[in-house]
A and B are shown apart, each in its own frame.
Chain A
Amino acid sequence: MILHADVLVAILAMGVASYLCRVGGYVLMGYVVLTPRVETWLKAIPVALIGAILGPIAARGGPTEWLGLATAIVMMRLSGNDLVSAVAAMGVVAIVRAIS
């Protein structure tokens, strides 16, 4: 059971942040009405975050990573299962790395 102090502090803080989100909406609804604009913003955050994660990965990566990302997207369209798509993309990346 190894725990690093900085990691432990980060995890505890993340948990607090996570729980604040869960409770925050419920508690706030007792006092204020969510404006449509705020609601639109909150809904837009996850997809913007996903884009922000993928952008630098694609920009820093080379053909292997691009092929992997393309595999994940194509497999997701075909199978509709994100787990299957991710494993397939990993497989493609592993194979390309093995033969190159």
Chain B
Amino acid sequence: MYAVAFGIMASAAGLTTAEAALISGWVNAGGAQMASLQAWTTPVSLVAVCLTTLAMNARYLLMGATLRPWFHGLPARQVYPSLFVMGDATWTMALREREEGRTDAAFLLGAGLVMWVVWVAGTAAGHVFGSVLGSPERLGLDFMMAAFFAALAVPFLRSSKSLVPFAVGVLVAVVVDRLVPGPWSILGGALAGSVAGTVYSDDPAR
């Protein structure tokens, strides 16, 4: 379903079906793809979309790190393809499998491959669907991404630790957006917000 949603967003952002399917197959990271579409301009800014992808996928650094004790000792040809298909859901499922004593490391690859096929096919279907719907504004499709991120913010903000990075991210992005239009507000806000959150949580007085 997220794949279909991404396909519709990609069509609203002006990408072709082949481009949308290629992003899903090659980048294979829902949040990063949606955030990059938000930073998408014509012509597209290479630096902006890559930095957005890095920022949204930074959590994969932590997820990959947690797999080290489990995957250590496996041949590289098994580890690296597994990491390519690793996603939030498959990583969570794989760790749960391991907690329950099923230590087959191929689980991540198998689950990941299934998710990958669904993800690419769903994107293409969503894109075709989005193109035939016609005027994206009339149906609120241009608002879909904003709505998604607003919904995503809710579970994050249940943790008080997230309040500072979120609030600083909002404020800095609004200011940067006033000064330089384009994708830079997203990156400036993300950087300022995450650094502010780190400094704040380090403060022993809190």
Contacts and interface: CB of A to CB of B under 8 A. Distances in A.
A46 to B, nearest CB: 6
Contact of B32 (A14, A24, A50, A83): A14
Interface residues of A, number: 74
B61 A50 contact: no
A23 interface: yes
Interface string B175-204: 001100000011111111111111001100
Contacts of B161: 44
A99 interface: no
Interface in B1-33: 1-2, 5, 15-19, 22-23, 26-29, 31-33
A71 B151 CA distance: 9
B165 to A, nearest CB: 4
A82 to B, nearest CB: 4
A42 to B, nearest CB: 5
A59 B29 CA distance: 28
Contacts of A26: 64-65, 67-68, 71, 79, 83
A14 B148 CA distance: 21
Interface string A55-94: 1111110000100110111011100001101110111111
Interface of B: 1-2, 5, 15-19, 22-23, 26-29, 31-33, 35-36, 38, 43-44, 46, 49-65, 67-68, 71-72, 79-80, 83-84, 86, 137-141, 143-157, 161-162, 165-174, 177-178, 185-198, 201-202
9 contacts: A23-B64, A23-B80, A37-B198, A41-B195, A48-B197, A50-B156, A52-B173, A91-B140, A94-B139
